[in-house]
Structure 1
Amino acid sequence: MSSPNKGEDEMQIAETSGNSVRVSMYKLSYSVGVAENKNAKFRNTMEDVHTYVENFASRLDWGYFGVFDGHAGNQASKWCGANLHTDIERHLLEDESKDVREVLNASFVRADEHINTHLQGNSGCTAAVGILRWELPDNLPSELIDLEQHKRMLYTANVGDTRIVLFRNGHSVRLTYDHKASDILEMQRVESAGGLIMKSRVNGMLAVTRSLGDKFFDSLVVGNPFTTSVEITTTDQFLIIACDGLWDVIDDQEACEMIRDMTDANEAAKKLVRYALENGTTDNVTAMVIMFDNSL
């Protein structure tokens, strides 16, 4: 399934910088900005990792966006930042008719198993991933296909408390679920698997109930993500993907209101990180902002 070309073709340019990959063919319908800070006042190491891929899966105007918040080391978050999108892409292209949410679930589970089996140490990470792609409406006769009939779909998956928030028509819409040991549904799941919740932590130690890695918690802390799908329309202005270093000190709507009048995604991400640091967060902070260009 290909995406529509919404601008003039340019020479193809491939660039790699850190964990970002850019293949520029034309003007994208979105822009990505990222800001991060170790928060040296409270943290000795940086365990957050982020990745985004423009024209994901070599499809025009598709996008992959991910933020991974490590704990007990950065091995898990670094592995996810470097590898998770490759696994998702491979299985996504094997059968493009398959529900993307199923692909995301399977890739998260494989990542969890790989980290626990092959990586040294006992690290884990929360994860929030979004995939933006163009699709044709279901059951549309092939002879009637027109580029204007494509719809832009966003698929998300998360484990833990890294969060994705969509700003739609002036209102924040949370697309993720905070998997915390204080959550009654997650508490019941952990206890039915033989674990204990003490002081809002799994076995008194881990605050999140779903993650990638954390081999010591095995069947108690699982890698199956919460997934969503939503069509992106002209009422949608931007996405925020950020770790709990931001959400510990600001709610969804307030974060969206803070950057709603900004047009530069990088500056918007920087503003969110600065706010978190100035308002007492004690964690690493990473914020990714994806702004939609609805004028194309």
Structure 2
Amino acid sequence: MEDDKIRVGASSMQGWRSTMEDAHAIYLSMPNMPGNIRDEDAAIAAVFDGHCGSKFAQSCAAKIRDWVTGSVAFKQRNFEKALKDAFCSGDVALHKAMPSELSGCTGNCILIVQNHLYCANTGDSRAVLCRNGEAIALSEDHKPSDPAERERIMKAGGFVQAGRVNGVLSLSRAFGDYAFKDMSLKPEDMVITVMPDVYHTELTPQDEFVIIACDGVWDMMTNDKAVEFVRNEVADHGDVSLACERLMNACLASTPSAYGADNMTVIILQFKSSFLKKVESKFTTEQLPSEKLASQ
């Protein structure tokens, strides 16, 4: 899959698990872009890693673009808020549709608008940018062991035991998991919240590709190693889809009992040289509001 700006590779692997609970979405254009932004100058790609079932991951993958473009903030060109609103309103919609469902999923979503890249993350899927050969983290994992997340959980009335929220859940933010949520509260006040962190950076001519993947990959490979691996694969074969498959194979355990048996999903967004030339010229529209890039 490709267009004038991006060459896309995507692949999923069940691994040694009995079921496949990941889902992903890729759209190389966005309908009804606001202002004078062309639909084809925007794109969205996302990975959703389900737990206790695949219903939420599949639903999020099917709806994420509509949730983003349907927000008021999107029409106002406030794309950071549009992503936050999309995650929160999407979680409410899923609760109305599946109020008794016990499963949930992570969400890591990349939105590209002209020369701007936004990453919204809930949970422990992750996105990494290769800039001039270096790995730049676009998101940080939401784990109960993180001091800030632990403090947020406890303030909301929960607790962390053995690295798990209320002794059960191994991540601290997610779609679904309504057993941990009081839906009458604001998302940020819930023990498990869907509220994403959103990071923004302006793209540069030195940007090569973005990797979006679930924790089945990141549990086995560091950001630096993953970027090095993909960079070498692309240089050797020029095939980002093959690079996705080989990255997962490198992470897969040799036996079901070994570490590295999880479901895996990888998306690689490789920027084309023609697109990077537009990036260098900053396109032709006024600059969008910027946020600090996530620290590596």
What TM-score comes out, normalization by structure 1 length? 0.81
Counterpart of 1:130? 110
1:285 pairs with 2:264: yes
**Alignment check: 8 A CA contact 1:56 1:64 kept:** yes
Tell me how far 1:191 sits from its aligned partner.
0.6
Amino acid aligned to 2:118: Y
Counterpart of 2:225? 254
Identity of aligned residues (%): 32
Name the SS of the counterpart of 1:114 in structure 2.
Answer: helix
**Cα deviation digits, residues 4-25 of structure 1 (max 9, x gap):** xxxxxxxxxxxxxxxxxx8x8x
Counterpart of 2:239? 264
**Cα deviation digits, residues 73-97 of structure 1 (max 9, x gap):** 1111111011121111122686243
5+ unaligned residues in a row in structure 1: which ranges? Answer: 1-21, 135-151
Question: Aligned in 2, Cα 1:154/1:92: closer, same or farther, shift over 3 Å?
Answer: farther
Distance 2:30 2:265 in 1: 22
State the 4+ residue runs in structure 1 displaced beyond 3 angstroms: none
Counterpart of 2:283? none
Tell me how far 1:172 sits from its aligned partner.
0.5
Tell me how far 1:114 sits from its aligned partner.
2.0
Please point out which of 220, 238, 255 is paired with 2:191: 220
Counterpart of 2:167? 204
Distance 1:32 1:203 in 2: 39
Tell me how far 1:282 sits from its aligned partner.
2.1
1:121 pairs with 2:101: yes
Counterpart of 2:50? 70
5+ unaligned residues in a row in structure 2: which ranges? Answer: 33-38, 182-189, 276-296
**Alignment check: 8 A CA contact 1:92 1:100 kept:** no
Distance 1:160 1:291 in 2: 24
Counterpart of 1:91? 71
Distance 1:55 1:64 in 2: 7
Distance 1:286 1:153 in 2: 24
Please point out which of 146, 149, 162 is paired with 1:183: 146
**Alignment check: 8 A CA contact 1:50 1:67 kept:** yes
1:102 pairs with 2:102: no
Tell me how far 1:28 sits from its aligned partner.
1.5
Distance 1:289 1:193 in 2: 36
Counterpart of 1:147? none
Structure number having the greater strand percentage: 1
**Alignment check: 8 A CA contact 1:77 1:125 kept:** yes
**Cα deviation digits, residues 210-239 of structure 1 (max 9, x gap):** 001100010210010010111111110000
Amino acid aligned to 2:125: T
Counterpart of 1:142? none
Counterpart of 1:53? 27
